[in-house]
Each structure stands twice: as C-alpha cells, then as structure tokens.
Amino acid sequence: MGIIFDIQLAKAYEEWCSSPKGLHMDFFLEHMISETLRPFKHERVIDIGCGSGNHLYVAGRHGMDLTGVDASPYMLNLAKNRLGDRCELKKAYAEDLPYEDNEFDLAFLINTLEFLDDPLPVLEEAGRVAKRGVFILFFNSISCYIRWEKIRGIFRKGLFSGIKTYSIWEIKRALSRVYGPVQIRWKSLPLFAGSFRKTVKPLISGISYLPFGYLIGIYVTLNYRYKTDNLFLKEKIKGAERPVIEGVHISHSK
C-alpha cells in the first residue's frame, strides 16, 4: 500500500497527463505496445493502478480486452466516465489482486510503483495474474527533469511530492529478485523528445536505449519454473501376489 489518490492529487496527475510531456508519454506507450508487446486482438490486459483510465484507453486501440484496478474510488469513477462499458473496473490494492493465477495475458504497471511503499509484492502479484508478460513504465530517478520536479515537490505539493523514483538498474534488480532470470526489453523517452507529435517516434527509435530519459518502459517476458520434491517411501513395496494381467490372453502376430 502507498499513496492513494485524492481529488487534489488526481487533478495534479490529470494536468501532467495533459501537458506536452504527458502527451509524449501516451505516444511512447503506444510505441511500446505496438513495437515491443505486440498484443493479439482480444488478449486480456489488466492495468494495476489504472488511475483515470488514460493508459487503458491507449491499450483499447489495439483491440485488447480491458480490466483496471485502483485503490482510489475517485480515480475509478474518472476511469468509468472515460471508458464506459469497454472496461471492467474494480477497487483493489496492487498487492492483493482479486483474480486467479494467469487470468490475464498481460499486466501493466504504468506510473504505479512510484506511489507504493514496496514494489516487490506488487511485481509478484503482477507476475501471478499474467501469463505472457508484465509491462512497467516509470519515472526515471537519474533524469535531470525528474530530479528537478522532486525538488520542486518539496516546496509545493503536487504530483512529484513524496513519490519514489527508480533507475533502470534498480528495477532490473527488483525484477531479478521476483522473477529470476527473465528476458527483458526496455526503452527510454528522452527529455528533448520534441514538441511536435510527428518527431516523437523517430526520436524514440533513435536514442531510446540511453538510460537517462525521464520515462522508461520495460517489458518482462515471464518464464514459468517448476520445482519437484522427491517423496521417499517409508515402507518397502510388497511383491504382487497375482500378476496384474493374469487371465489376459496376448497373441503375437507377425
């Protein structure tokens, strides 16, 4: 559990999403979904910490079946108004999802880890309910822009006040602890991604592997590992008193 959005924080997040950087994030998310996740039509996706439904709206353009959970009733109401009946929405905590194992194909954690006390239980839950992969998008702690916004947040309450931010290396270590040796693919959105929408995609393609962008998207392909426990017999097996196939006539033909 962590920060639950109230009206004031929800307003700050919506304002940021409507800013040029927030709009660039939508294009970045669109790029990651189409080029990295490559979903099939009607694949099930759950957005954990779905907020007002911005990111589910983007996923819906790819024909995916949508589910969103959030701990804030206010944010869920905004998502309901935005998405209508296109999406199943539930109030739930990211650390304890009310869904079965492997119920979804993909799990999204988009600007979710920053508002939680501990990312590990949430990553575990995301991996539990998803069977194909987990996609994480987060504010990059070593970005100059994010550092400046966090400093501003100390003196003026807003979106970046009190949130946790992570570097690509910290997230990789967390993923290794939770999932073990998994395949990951990541890209970053640079601060100077341009002020025009047409320039975003070429810039993402050209310099998106530098670890200094203010947003980083990382896709984890889940592997399933099985562990077997040997059961030792406490008693010796007794010899069979009668053959198992006694009375069965077996003919041999050439």
* Domains, the chain, with CATH or none: 7-221 (3.40.50.150)
Q: What is the pTM of this model?
A: 0.79
Residue 5 scores a pLDDT above 90: no
The pLDDT of residue 164: 87
Q: Tell me the mean pLDDT in the region 114-124.
A: 92
Residue 238 scores a pLDDT above 80: no
31-62: pLDDT as tens digits: 899 889 998 889 999 999 998 898 999 999 99
At 106 the three-state DSSP class reads strand
Average pLDDT, the chain: 81
At 136 the three-state DSSP class reads strand
The pLDDT of residue 10: 75
Residue 7 scores a pLDDT above 50: yes
205-228: pLDDT as tens digits: 444 677 888 889 999 999 765 444
